[in-house]
Amino acid sequence: MKKSFWLALMLVLVVFAGCSKKSTEEASGPWQPEKDITITNPWSVGGSADTKTRLVAQYLEDVTGQNVVVTTVNGGAGALAAADFLGKSYDPHSMILPGIGMFTLVPLMNKNLPYQFEDFKVVAELVSEPFVLYVNPAETGIRSLEDLLNYGEDNHIVFSSNPPGGTTYLLETSLFKMAGVDAASVAGSSVENITALLGGHVIATAANPSLGKPYMKDGSLIPIGVFSEEAYEGFEGITVPSIKEQLGFDIVFQSSNFFAVGKDASDEVVDYYYNAIQKVYENPEFIKKAKEMNYTPSMLTPAKLEQKILNTADLFKRLTELVVE
């Protein structure tokens, strides 16, 4: 009888424990942020990625009900920010904004990085844009890609880009090398590169459309080519021809900055942030402000975004071999 009593008691306890666990899970519900959300931005303040991130952060506060703070840790083509982010204990309230080159290009130049792709889980793409090659016609008289290459036949071309190992450095260096033109880079942030071109200190620079657009209205800058398969038609009344179509050079690339969390994040956390960011992208007021910035958000799912990053590695490997040979 005692044996039957204890068996019955154990059964009751097991059932109670199961019900208790279920009740706790139902009470807690899906994961939601409980404090300020921090986004680590590896890119220069005032640059293309920075301004877009801050716009998203503004509307993300409405969706999450929490303050969203963007902190800048700039340098080392994103390596300093990655090291800072990974050097802290995992916190689901922290995100980082890597660029695609951090995992596809930079590792080809630096084998001793403080991070790897497996240290992160991708959440949502901030933006994916082509790179446009700009010139300053008032300083040089150059108004087309043909003019630029003709100029390079008799002159040394100085262009501005990000530091060696960066995306615009690789794209522009590849272009001039394939064209047989003597050229060298002056390194700076995206904002500094545009400023250098406006001041006549360099002959050309590559930048995202949204960064060059404000200086096109008065003709200060002219877009002469885009590093894409087809012409770029995102500027009102202006079609920018593809460099590949003009010269036959297979230098095609779309930039990508995206939100990511630490590798220890649960799928629930990733899903929460992805859905929250998509709600921001669907906000009519956000859409209006993004359009004013010539900014079109990306709706890629985390799985498709991850595949895009992995596929880009092959392109960078080929161009890197061309530049460093």
Which pLDDT tens digit goes with each residue over 78-112?
999 999 999 999 999 999 999 998 998 888 878 88
If asked whether residues 122 and 263 sit together in one domain, one would say yes
In the predicted structure, residue 13 carries a pLDDT above the cut 80: no
Residue 28 within any structural domain of the chain: no
End-of-domain residue from the set 247, 276, 295? 247
- Name the residue range of residue 193's domain: 132-247
Question: Which CATH number does the domain housing residue 279 bear?
Answer: 3.40.190.150
Does some domain include residue 16? no
Residue 84 and residue 150 in one domain? no
| pLDDT, averaged across the chain | 88
The answer as to whether 30 is a domain residue is no
Q: Which of 191, 226, 247 is the last residue of a domain?
A: 247
Report if residue 7 sits inside a domain.
Answer: no
In a domain, 148, yes or no: yes
Residues 216 and 137 in one domain: yes
Task: Note whether 191 and 233 are same-domain residues.
Answer: yes
Length of the chain equals: 325
Mean pLDDT of 230-242: 93
Quote the tokens at residue 190.
Answer: 């995206």
pLDDT in tens, 281-325: 999 999 999 988 878 898 889 999 998 888 887 777 877 777 765
Are 100 and 145 in the same domain? no
- The alpha-helical segments, DSSP class H, found in 199-301 are 209-212, 243-247, 267-281, 284-292
Q: What pLDDT was estimated at residue 28?
A: 54
* Domain annotation covers residue 52: yes
* Burial of 69: CB neighbours in 10 Å, binned 0-12, 13-18, 19+: middle
Mind listing the pLDDT tens digit for each residue in 125-169?
A: 999 889 999 999 999 999 999 999 999 999 999 999 988 777 899
Q: Are 208 and 235 in contact (CB under 8 A)?
A: no
Instruction: Say yes or no: 186 and 284 in one domain.
Output: no
Q: Where are the beta strands (DSSP E) in 136-245?
A: 157-161, 183-187, 204-207, 222-226, 232-235, 238-240
Say yes or no: 213 and 283 in one domain: no
| pLDDT tens readout for residues 252-280 | 888 899 999 999 999 999 999 999 999 99
Nearest alpha carbon to residue 183 among 192, 174, 191: 174
Separation of alpha carbons 302 and 275, rounded Å: 11
Number of domains comprising the chain: 2
* pLDDT category of residue 4 using cuts at 50, 70 and 90: low
Residues 122 and 139 in one domain: no
What is the model's pTM?
A: 0.74
